[in-house]
Structure 1
Amino acid sequence: MPPHAHGPVRPAALVLDALDTLFPLGPLEWRFREAGIPRVLMTRWCDHLLRDAFALSLLGGERTFEDVARGSLRDITGNQIAPAAEDVIIDGLARLEPRPEAARALDTARAAGLRTAVLGHGGGERVRLLLERSGLPAEALTGGGGPTEWKPAEAAYLSAAHDLGVPPQRLGLVTAHGWDAAGGRRAGLVTGWSSHLEGRFPSVFPRPDAQGRDLAETVERLLALPAPG
């Protein structure tokens, strides 16, 4: 039976993506400049990081998020980046600030009785640090111990549903990445996509169950879905 064969229903819990959904990566640009790396390479680094993470998810291999992030930095700079400069950029990943409407989106979900959590790539320690620094009302999920269970692999989403104690079809996913929404849909989740990052939903993936201009509107539209029969 395909996901939501009888239509998506209002979720009972909510999981949000971390990087570039809750926490924009744009502020890392100054750290690239400080490291002597042209800021235009930041986008290339992000793409390289995701490419390698996706490949490792298929191939297997015990690598952490930090392994892949550092390896991508070395690759895009031709292994010319100094260790101290590398540390400056990696340290910045734990010091990102949330989007302005992030707290409102989470408060709306919690006021409606939904448990809220954040799922990042390859382990939850950095997500936990981001949440502690920001004070956002959500818990960090691990999403598996390594890249073999990184999103968009089905196991990462099913692990989140298990950790939150709900069946996949009652877990709502909020993300700004089309590939992430597609991964969540395949795992049976109720998917919400915020257009603040990509602008248009990628045409190669099935449409999400709800979408909004930002995180708050996306959460509101997930909550507006019909209650389960």
Structure 2
Amino acid sequence: MTGRPVAAFLDVNDTLSDLGSVGGAFVDAGLRAEDVRAWYLSVLRDGFAATVLGDNASYAAIGTDVARSMVRAAHPDRSDADLDAAAQSIMTAMVAAQPHPDVVPGIVALNEVGVRVITLSNGSTDVARRLLGDTPAAAAMDSYLSANDAGGWKPSPAAYRHGLRLAGVAGVEALMVAVHPWDLEGARRVGMRTAWINRTGATYPAHFGAPDIEVTSLVDLADRL
């Protein structure tokens, strides 16, 4: 990748937020802490399907329904009221998830090297604001965007084009940052540059185009730029 990007678009759920930080809420609801990953992947699956079918799905609505279904499967004798309460407790915890340790210093560092920092999430912008709002990263943020306002979830091309249009930057001037290869592949196909945050030592899927940058944290990304 040549030249520093004008703007970095950051995915939010799992990229910025630490899903492991809400494992306790799953336990309290009668599930296992590791079920948060199954919940998250199920929400993505159904949201992607809705987008392909032309619907503009609500992340919160799908998340609540998936949580309720998981609790019901584990505890079929619980009342509807109990299932609703358990699902709501999980969703409340998701909104209150904590950022990964590298996120706040990484956003600050990106801003300090002259890159505009913008979130682009499939969920509500309120979740991203809450995640960063009480941290030093808040002052470094340019804006918070949601794919819902584009009519469909990433990796739909419309989601990335929506972000580029609102930011007033061309694809070649923008960098999409995510832990999810599918997210980066969607961005790559509309001409954006891509940065993979690989915190786990995973292997990038060979069936997608390689990211322009691979780093282990947002702090490392700022150093590279």
TM-score w.r.t. the length of structure 2 is: 0.87
- Spell out, residue by residue over 1:114-152, the C-alpha distance to the aligned partner (whole angstroms, 9 max, x if none): 211111114322222222144423231122337x42111
2:129 paired residue number? 128
The answer to which structure, 1 or 2, has the higher relative contact order (CA under 8 A, 6+ apart) is 1
Equivalent residue in structure 1 for 2:161, among 158, 162, 182: 158
SS at match of 1:145: helix
Deviation at residue 97 of structure 1 after TM alignment: 1.4
Identity %: 28
Q: Rate the CA distance shift 1:101–1:122 in 2: closer, same or farther, 3 A.
A: closer
CA distance in 1, matches of 2:120, 2:69: 26
CA distance in 2, matches of 1:33, 1:201: 31
1:102-141 matches, within 5 Å, as: 102-136=103-137, 137-138=140-141, 139-141=143-145
Contact 2:12 2:128 in 1 (8 A): yes
1:40-79 matches, within 5 Å, as: 40-78=34-72
- Spell out, residue by residue over 1:148-189, the C-alpha distance to the aligned partner (whole angstroms, 9 max, x if none): 421111111111111211111111111111111111111211
- Count residues in correspondence: 215
Equivalent residue in structure 1 for 2:149, among 116, 132, 145: 145
Deviation at residue 54 of structure 1 after TM alignment: 0.8
- Spell out, residue by residue over 1:47-80, the C-alpha distance to the aligned partner (whole angstroms, 9 max, x if none): 1111001111100224311011112113334465
Deviation at residue 218 of structure 1 after TM alignment: 2.6
SS at match of 2:18: coil
1:209 aligns with 2:203: no
Deviation at residue 197 of structure 1 after TM alignment: 4.5
Q: Rate the CA distance shift 1:178–1:153 in 2: closer, same or farther, 3 A.
A: same
CA distance in 1, matches of 2:91, 2:126: 13
TM-score w.r.t. the length of structure 1 is: 0.86
> What runs of 5+ residues in structure 2 fail to find an aligned partner?
77-81
CA distance in 2, matches of 1:15, 1:176: 12
Q: Rate the CA distance shift 1:62–1:194 in 2: closer, same or farther, 3 A.
A: closer
Deviation at residue 9 of structure 1 after TM alignment: 4.1
Contact 2:9 2:176 in 1 (8 A): yes
Equivalent residue in structure 2 for 1:171, among 169, 174, 198: 174
CA distance in 2, matches of 1:60, 1:216: 37
1:180 paired residue number? 183
1:16-95 matches, within 5 Å, as: 16-78=10-72, 80=76, 82-95=83-96
CA distance in 1, matches of 2:108, 2:84: 40
The answer to which structure has the higher helix fraction is 2
CA distance in 2, matches of 1:155, 1:192: 20
> What runs of 5+ residues in structure 1 fail to find an aligned partner?
1-6, 224-229
- Spell out, residue by residue over 1:5-63, the C-alpha distance to the aligned partner (whole angstroms, 9 max, x if none): xx654211111111111111011111000011123322221111110011111002243
2:79 paired residue number? none
CA distance in 2, matches of 1:198, 1:36: 31
Query: What is the alpha-carbon root mean square deviation over aligned residues?
Result: 2.0
